[in-house]
Structure 1
Amino acid sequence: MKHLLLIITLFLSCKTINSQNYEFGKVSKAELEEKYHPIDSSSSAAILYRNERVSFYYSSSEGFMQQREIHERIKIYNKDGFDWATKKEYLYQGRSNKESLSGLKGVSYNLVDGKIEKVKLKSDGKFVEDYSEFTKVNSFTLPNVKEGTVIEYKYKITSSRYSIDDIIFQYSIPVNKLDVKIATPEYYIYSKQPNLAASYMPKVNETIKNISNPFDYKVNIINVNEENIPALRAEAYSGNINNYRSKMALELSAVLNGNKIIEKSFSNTWEEVSKTIYESSNFGGQLDKFSFYKDDLETLLAGVEDDFEKASLVENLVKSKVKWNGRYGKYAQNGIRNAYKVGEGNVADINLMVVSMLRSQGVNASPILVSTRNNGIPLFPTHDGFNYVVCSVQKGNEYLLIDATEKYSANNVLPQRVLNWQGRLIEDKNVSRWFSMMPNKKSVEKSMLNVKINNDFTASGKVSKQLTDYIAYFYRDKYASMTPEDHIKSLEKDKGDIEISELNFENGKEITKPIKISYQYELSDGVDEIGDKLYFSPLLFLATKENPFKLEERQYPIDFVIPYVDSYLVNIMLPDGYNIESLPTSEALVFMDASIKFSYIIKQNGKYLQLKVDLDINNPMIQAKDYKAFKSFFSKIVEKQGEQVILTKAQP
């Protein structure tokens, strides 16, 4: 019966889509009356229609010009979908190539007393701001948006650039109908690459059309016409969800002249991509020796011989001199000289500066090109596959990685955004190679919990923690700038009826040392008295309460980001007048080839219960095909942590 209902729902949905008028302004009452999406009822919004056209026209003064036309209609079901009423377009503003947005029209539709009310987008809802030296942001927000509103907008972007943005097929909300057409002149040869990691793949049709204006040439056409595209939703520990988005990249591989002969060939190997990037004045040109930092380095490094020690000192110097402006980029935005003078720069300004300084001192330093986690993993050789750069220092067979943009990052402890598979290390314009960006050293969190069960059956005691490497970095990034009061509030959150006091936070800003935390606590709801018995979980408020992996099926890998060990040592003073009736059993669990291990060892030692719990994650990436087995494995961990000690009141 359920299958029959699903088929009927899909049939009715498809029938509605096929009969819908998608001409701009032809929003129907049925669209406005819809309370939830017929297929995905949990969605806060839906793209009712998206039409995207990419084409080129010939200008006698400019040559071929690119046009990208967007028409989109979106249904907002509830407040969580209000963000879809704001749209941003990042427009390139190069010295010779500029992008411009024109023809913007927008309308909000609401049903008021059975009639369709329209409110147009006006100038006060349109905004233009500088994003970087070569980028402007054009944004707009549709007016009068409420639960149930349908919004619609259209605009055109004109550009003299031949590069085409990725064509997106899948979004975080469902798409009822998608109509995409990409028409490129035969003089531009593009490599087409779909995202093979995506679970949804549209049907792509390719045709050729003859054009006779202003001269005869052929146009290569890509068409995608799809309906009922499922939403792409993040799942627990899914890492960068964009890695699994259905999309198609188009990279220009060659330009033909009027005789259809290759005039210019672009990079088609990673070696060529690396060479082209290195030869840029805003990349390799920033790595020469510069006089502007000479005196500062001589003073800083006087008497220092070890290359890694030099690297640490230079990293701290750059952090103290240049503030990161929050912008990514593999190319220097201001140039390292100006960034040093002004005290601000993008990622490349800062990290290429570190490389330049170290090379000037004879240190074997090289830049590593990276695609950040939110940029995805490059699918094929492409300049656009990289959007970030860090510094690598080699001493013998050892490597030190540096990112001087973050206050609390340390040697070989980089911001999470760059931990994305592998980067491209470039020694010079002719020598480059892949370099793993994933940590191979385990980060460790050790927790010690002392517990005393009081006469009123509250529990009190002390917690002590020590955090190393990436776990310490993540903690510093969150808490080092917090007030002690806010820190305590955060620690108390989701721990039941607890009161924390005497917080001590050591090495919060000493990035080369482990973090040490301790605090006193009093817990009012950790022990249950039923009759003459006491029940409690020995991990109390430190136990994992529920399994975050709830889905029956999973489309994406589980990504814990880093290998780590989470270790607990619990000492419980047994209350006077009670005996142990039962304890959880000690147990060891192993997932697959020991990629993840869990151990739970509990024993009585005189007046004390002692518990040692370890979760050891050797391989932080669990493939989707192993999801069900891992979900079951993690459920056992949660169940084990929730098992209770039972104490019985001693008979007088």
Structure 2
Amino acid sequence: MKTIVTIFIIFIVSHVSIGQEQNYDFGKVSKQQVEEKICHKDSSVNAAVLYKNEKIWFAYQQEEGFVQIREVHERIKIYNKLGYDWATKRVRLYNRSIENSEVLTSLKGYTFNVVDGKLVKDKLKKEGVFQELVNEYWKYESFTMPNVKEGSVIEYTYKIRSPYIQIDDIQFQYTIPILKYDLKVSTPQYFNYNKLFNPKSKYVPELEYSTSNGMLNLNTKDDTNRKWNKAPAFTNYHYSKVDYINNVIMASEVNIPALKEEPMLDNINNYRAKLILELKSIEYPGEPIEYFASTWEDVTKNIYDLDKFGGQLNKSGYFKEDIANLVEEGASEFKKINLIHNYVKSKVKWNGNYGVAAEKGVRKAYKEGVGNVADINLILVAMLQEMGIEANPVLVSTKNNGIPLFPTRQGFNYVICVVENDEGRVLMDATSANGAINVLPSRALHWQGRVIRENGSSNWVQLKSKVMSEETTSVKVQIQSDLSISGEVRQILTNYMAMNYRDRYIDAKDDELLKDFERDKGDVIIENIEFRDLSNTDKPFQISYDYQMQGGIEVIGETLLLNPLLFFAESENIFKQEERTYPITLDFPIRSKYMITILLPEDYELESMPENGGSEFNNGEAKFVYAINRMGNYLQILVNFDLNTTLVLPEDYEYFKNFFRSYVEKHNEKIVLKKII
């Protein structure tokens, strides 16, 4: 009876507490929310959004036309120190001229804590607000909430005032759960939008569609030259009222799950639940309908016609003298391509900025030796065209830009170069110092790109490489009398494997190299590291070093146990979760080969060794082979691992996990040596 009463009391108290938490007005944070220790919907998270309210609407200003207002209100619970990052908010704003920039306004916020049993709040002050200029187009307005502790609840609200009709994507999902989210989007009948949810998202919210009435106050005197989205050209006004309809989208979602990272996933943001509103057309009364790009052909033509894009390809005088003697007469097309690609890589350095439009212009970027993505790769295209090579720009959406679902200029944020000939396509990106022909930086290996040509034609090209990137490792192993291990390692890396190592070590100092090579290898000392062709991207990258290792042998009485793969063994299966929500994605297929030679100690005999074996996944999409053989006093081990696919679907996850588990288990089998008596 006492137990039943206790349960009843807990039930009543919990429901009273929940009821007290339903006040979502700004500033009405409850003591119970601050005292809560874990998220009742997901106890593993470090923070949670208790409430989010987002409103988007358009206000008509006589001097400006329609202005977009986006109001955001968020209340976030910080459970522990790992959740402190959520106390800083970065808001991206388009930043051009005063008239054409977005502005953050009406910012206010508080941090709530319980001190000596009482609820107290600290106000967000000016010193907690910062501006960060990214480039000539974008800036961040950031703020950090004050006095954040474990258990704090932070709350803030702000508005974004934008002169643009295009609406940024509406995010329904964060990497922490959202317990309640209210959304209202209200757009005038004059603006027509395509509406689409991210098709890759597993979470799909429910939307409600309705209409509401709106009214405009318009100046009607001498109005023949008036544009709806521009100010009239006169100053004496007579006003009239115009009724119109707002198209309204609403959502009220609860318990939106966190978007959680999974091993070997290209970009978690590609799977975020979001509503995309793509401006399709504008239809003002009495004016022609203004259509926006409705096909990818329209998009690519509009981009090519830009002076800062196609206009840059018509300029060649600035480099003609420099490349006149660069390529010898009679050189093959491939050699010309390679020479020009390497020349541009060394001549113009990337400033880290993306964009499909030239930032400085090709002539200035070439002269100064620095430019954005478009500056550099449009120079590359122009130079190749000057050499009579069929080169063209390729528009790309990088991993952090997502997958463009509608034909839109905003869908692309990057440019690379393609050469098309009878032998196929050659892709290049001269912003990557360690890239090579058909070896693009990871940021560009996303989805597909759109080739655009001067004649107006365009088509899609696959960006992910089908060429195998290989890592071949030779290891010599000698067991010393004190049971330490010594030997040498030689590695050869090709294509993307080589580029990744070059990116990592091109500027590394000697002490950094030693620390990095010794990391995660146990009690190992690395000596005599040598690199070959570190800067020559036309050749494989080679690494060699000597090593000494303590503690690599397990001693049980007169018996020794040794893992022949030493510190190269896969220690654990990274695929631990029971189910997979998202696909396993890789940038390129890989082949890993280990060739290990062990000199057996004279005073020990081989008692047992692993059996030869292997496994295969999905008809050869992945496979490994383990072969071991004794030749006199030597053991030779060969371990091959091929991953021929760059995509494993969630429905195949269980099979792949089991395949990889067998690979890891084989990696950790040991040879047994017994002392000769």
Do these two structures clear the TM 0.5 threshold for a shared fold by scoring above it? yes
Whether contact under 8 Å (1:289, 1:360) holds in the other structure is: no
| TM-superposed deviation, 1:484 | 2.0
Match of 1:347 among 335, 353, 373: 373
Alignment-derived partner of residue 501 in structure 1: 527
Letter in 2 for 1:232: L
**1:15-35 superposed Cα distances (whole Å, 9 cap, x missing partner):** 827842111111111111112
Task: Tell me the residue number matched to 1:208.
Answer: 211
Deviation at 1:341, TM superposition (A): 2.7
| CA-CA distance at 1:100 after TM superposition | 1.1
Which residue of 1 is the match for residue 650 of structure 2? 624
* RMSD (Å) for aligned C-alpha atoms: 1.9
On the 8 A contact 2:21/2:33 being kept in 1, the answer is: no
Residues in 2 aligned to 1:121 and 1:310: alpha-carbon distance in whole angstroms = 59
Match of 1:360 in 2: 386
**2: CA distance, partners of 1:234 / 1:454:** 44
Deviation of 1:320 (Å): 2.8
Q: Distance in 2 between matches of 1:430 and 1:315?
A: 25
Q: 1:580, 1:348 → 2: CA distance?
A: 62
Q: Quick check: 611-620 or 59-68, which moved more?
A: 59-68
The answer to whether the Cα contact below 8 Å between 2:20 and 2:30 also exists between their aligned partners in 1 is no
Q: Which residue identity lines up with residue 296 of structure 2 in the other structure?
A: W
Q: How does 1:57-72 map to 2 (within 5 A)?
A: 57-72=59-74
Structure 2 counterpart of 1:318: 344
Match of 1:27 among 29, 33, 38: 29
State the 1:396 CA deviation.
2.5
Structure 1 residues 13, 295: closer, same or farther in 2, change over 3 A? farther
Q: Deviations over 1:342-384 (max 9, x none)?
A: 3322111111121122223322110111111122222232222
1:510 to 536, 543, 565: 536
CA distance in 2, matches of 1:12, 1:238: 39
- TM-score, structure 2 as length reference: 0.92
After superposition, give the CA deviation of every residue in 1:498-534 in whole Å (9 maximum; x if it has no partner): 1111111221111111111111111111111111111
Give yes or no for the alignment of 1:529 onto 2:555.
Answer: yes
Specify the alignment match of 1:42 in structure 2: 44
Q: 1:14 to 1:622 in 2, by over 3 A?
A: farther
* 1:493 alignment partner AA: R
Contact 2:17 2:32 in 1 (8 A): no
1:185-264 equivalences under 5 Å are: 185-214=188-217, 215-259=242-286, 263-264=289-290
Amino acid at match of 1:192: K
CA positional deviation for 1:14: 12
Matched position secondary structure for 2:324: helix
- 2:675 aligned partner: 649
1:475 aligns with 2:475: no
Q: State how far apart, in whole Å, the 2-side matches of 1:58 and 1:556 are.
A: 43
Task: Tell me, yes or no, if structure 1 residue 464 matches structure 2 residue 490.
Answer: yes
Kept after mapping to 1: 8 A contact 2:614/2:663 = no
1:184 matched to which residue of 2?
187
Deviates more, 1:618-627 or 1:336-345: 336-345
**CA displacement at 1:319 relative to structure 2:** 2.5
What is residue 166 of structure 2 aligned with on the other side?
A: 163
Q: Do 2:313 and 2:379's aligned partners in 1 also have CA atoms closer than 8 Å?
A: yes
SS in 1 for 2:461: strand
How many residues are aligned here?
643
Letter in 1 for 2:374: A
**Deviation digits for residues 186-241 of structure 1 (CA, Å, limit 9, x no counterpart):** 11100011011111111111111121343211111111111111110111101111
Report the CA distance between 1:294 and its aligned residue. 2.2
Match of 1:421 in 2: 447
Match of 1:553 among 579, 602, 605: 579
Instruction: Give unpaired runs (5+ residues) of structure 1.
Output: none
- Give the whole-Å Cα distance in 2 for the aligned partners of 1:377 and 1:36: 35
User: Which residue in the other structure is 1:387 paired with?
Assistant: 413
Q: Aligned-pair distance for 1:398?
A: 3.1
After TM superposition, the structure 1 = structure 2 runs for residues 281-296 of structure 1, keeping only pairs within 5 Å, are: 281-296=307-322
Change (3 A) 1:13 1:483: farther
Closer, same or farther in 2 for the Cα pair 1:104/1:360, shift >3 Å? same
- SS of 2:338's equivalent? helix
How far apart, CA to CA, are the structure 2 residues paired with 1:445 and 1:382?
40
Q: Quick one: which amino acid aligns to residue 321 of structure 2?
A: D
Counterpart residue number, 1:98:
101
Quote the offset at 1:136 in angstroms: 2.2
Does the 8 A contact of 1:275 with 1:429 survive in 2?
no
Cα pair 1:289 1:357 within 8 Å, conserved: no
Separation (CA, whole Å) in 1 of partners of 2:94 and 2:215: 30
Give the whole-Å Cα distance in 1 for the aligned partners of 2:288 and 2:638.
Answer: 68
Q: 1:125: Cα distance to partner?
A: 1.3
Match 1:492 to one of 509, 518, 543: 518
Return 29-38 or 167-176, whichever deviates more. Answer: 29-38
CA contact (8 A) 1:289 1:359 kept: no
Match of 1:640 in 2: 666
Counterparts in 2 of 1:113 and 1:650: CA distance versus 1, 3 Å = same
**Which amino acid in structure 2 is aligned with residue 24 of structure 1?**
F
* 226 and 615 in structure 1: CA distance in 2 versus 1, 3 angstrom threshold: same
Match of 2:220?
A: none
* 1:407 is aligned to 2:433: yes
2:399 is paired with a residue whose SS is coil
Give the C-alpha shift of residue 276 in structure 1: 1.5
Structure 2 match to 1:565? 591
The one-letter code matched in structure 1 to 2:605 is: N
Determine the C-alpha separation between the residues in 2 that align with 1:347 and 1:442.
27
2:356 corresponds to: 330
Change (3 A) 1:15 1:207: farther
Q: Which moved more, 1:297-306 or 1:402-411?
A: 297-306
Distance in 2 separating the partners of 1:278 and 1:34 = 56
For 1:297-316, list aligned pairs within 5 A: 297-301=323-327, 303=329, 305-316=331-342
Structure with higher Rg: it is: 2
Task: Evaluate the alpha carbon distance shift between residue 47 and residue 13 of structure 1 in structure 2; reply closer, same or farther with a 3 A threshold.
Answer: farther
Correspondence 1:51-200 to 2 at 5 A: 51-95=53-97, 97-200=100-203
Residues 21, 30 of structure 2: 8 Å contact kept: no
Deviations 1:574-629 (A, max 9, x none): 11122221111101211012000100001111111110000001102111111111
Distance in 2, matches of 1:385 and 1:13, equals 47
Q: Distance between the aligned counterparts of 2:301 and 2:540, measured in 1?
A: 40
> Would you say the 8 A contact 1:307–1:395 is kept in 2?
no
Mean Cα displacement is larger for which, 342-351 or 447-456? 342-351
- Unpaired segments of 5 or more residues in structure 2? 1-6, 218-241
CA distance in 2, matches of 1:538, 1:309: 43
- Aligned mates of 1:12, 1:490 — CA distance in 2: 52
Distance 2:421 2:456 in 1: 21
Residue by residue, what CA displacement relative to the aligned partner does 1:73-118 show, whole Å, maximum 9, x if unpaired?
Answer: 1111122211111111221133552211111112112211112222
Correspondence for 2:303: 277
CA contact (8 A) 1:459 1:522 kept: yes
CA 1:252/1:602 → structure 2, altered by over 3 Å: closer, same or farther?
same
- Distance in structure 1 (CA, Å) of the matches to 2:346 and 2:487: 41
Q: Which one-letter code corresponds to 1:598 in the other structure?
A: F
Q: CA deviation at 1:328?
A: 1.0
TM-score using structure 1 length: 0.95
